[in-house]
Amino acid sequence: MSIVVLGVGNVLEEDDGVGIYAAAFLKANFTFNDRVHIINGGVEGINLLNLFLENAYIIILDTINLDDTPGSIYNIPSYELSGYGLNSGGAHEVGVMQCLDMIELMGHPLPESNVIGIVPKSISFHMGLSTELEERFEAYIGTIIGYLKSSYGIDFVKKETSQSLLDIIETFKYPSHQNQPLDLK
């Protein structure tokens, strides 16, 4: 029984990138058993259909646009999100929710899936997170790890060397291939 932890969002739109940052943070700072697969789904949306067809357990990390204080964290079964819409109406969450609709229309069993969402402060063209989400990021990670433990019995080991949230954000701002000298020969 494998469990997919799927970060979705757009790192170019401030708080919308929190799911991507959370997935990268988990991968960089923790070791999970072989049952856990952490995936950066970005803004792939409907292109993730096979992921939903091939896995029985999926945890979606994303912002969730609810009328609540920015930084509020929710863990909601995906089927309960019909009509709420995740995030700010960006393309990725429509595609993710459409994946579940398509699977149902195709007559396949739906994966057990939850959205661990956090209410955004700002969705704008800016890399990084708002102060509100930066301050709540540790609690967000704790919620994800707690859910893996309580629902699936997944243990983890914190890696000896760690990366901070700001380190993770910087890796998206300045991917390593951009730091390499250009060979113009």
* Residues across the chain: 185
Mean residue pLDDT across the chain: 86
Report residue 33: phi and psi, to 5°. Answer: -70, 175
Burial of 86 (C-beta count, 10 Å sphere; 0-12/13-18/19+): buried
Q: Which domain holds residue 166?
A: 3-179
What six digits make up the tokens of 140? 């967000």
Decide if 34 is inside a domain: yes
Which of 8-12, 131-135, 178-182 has the lowest average pLDDT? 178-182
pLDDT, tens digit, for every residue of 104-125? 888 888 889 999 999 999 998 9
Who has greater pLDDT, 82 or 14?
14
What six digits make up the tokens of 80? 């309960």
- Of 4, 8, 6, 5, the C-alpha closest to 92 is 8
Q: How many domains, in total, are found in the chain?
A: 1
Decide if 134 is inside a domain: yes
> Which CATH number characterizes residue 75's domain?
3.40.50.1450
- Of 57, 19, 65, 8, the C-alpha closest to 37 is 57
Q: Which residues pair with 117 in a beta bridge?
A: 62, 74
- Of 118, 6, 144, 136, the C-alpha closest to 63 is 118
Q: Which residues pair with 112 in a beta bridge?
A: 57
Decide if 164 is inside a domain: yes
Residue appearing with tokens 């229309």: 105
Residue pair 95/48 in contact by the 8 Å Cβ criterion:
yes
Decide if 185 is inside a domain: no
User: What's the confidence (pLDDT) of residue 87?
Assistant: 41
Local confidence band at 176 (pLDDT 50, 70, 90 cut-offs): low
Residue pair 19/7 in contact by the 8 Å Cβ criterion:
yes
Decide if 59 is inside a domain: yes
pTM of the predicted structure, to 2 decimals:
0.85
